[in-house]
Amino acid sequence: MTQHILAGLRALTAKKLREKGLTHEEIAKLLNVDRTVITHYLAGRIPAKEAVKCAKVTAEKFYPRDAVLFIKTVCDDNDIVTTITETLISDNIDVDVAISSKCNLCKICIDICPTKAITIENDLINIDKNKCCGCELCQELCQKNAIFLKIIKDNRGELD
Residues of this chain that interact with ligand SF4 (CB under 6 A) are: 99, 103-109, 112-115, 117-118, 125, 127, 132-138, 142, 144, 146-147, 149
- In DSSP terms, 126 is beta-bridged to 119
Q: Which is nearer to ligand SF4, 51 or 109 (CB)?
A: 109
Cβ-Cβ contacts under 8 Å for 112 (sequence gap 6 or more): 137, 138, 141
Closest CA to 65 of 35, 85, 36, 48: 85
Q: Which is nearer to ligand SF4, 5 or 117 (CB)?
A: 117
Which helix (H) or strand (E) is 93 found in, with range? strand 93-99
Task: Classify 96 as helix, strand or coil.
Answer: strand
Minimum Å gap between C-beta 95 and ligand SF4 is 7
Q: Which is nearer to ligand SF4, 14 or 93 (CB)?
A: 93
Closest CA to 118 of 80, 73, 77, 149: 149
Minimum Å gap between C-beta 89 and ligand SF4 is 8
Minimum Å gap between C-beta 148 and ligand SF4 is 10
- Distances from the Cα of 155 to the Cα of 108, 145, 148, angstroms: 29, 28, 21
Q: Which is nearer to ligand SF4, 28 or 138 (CB)?
A: 138
Minimum Å gap between C-beta 40 and ligand SF4 is 30
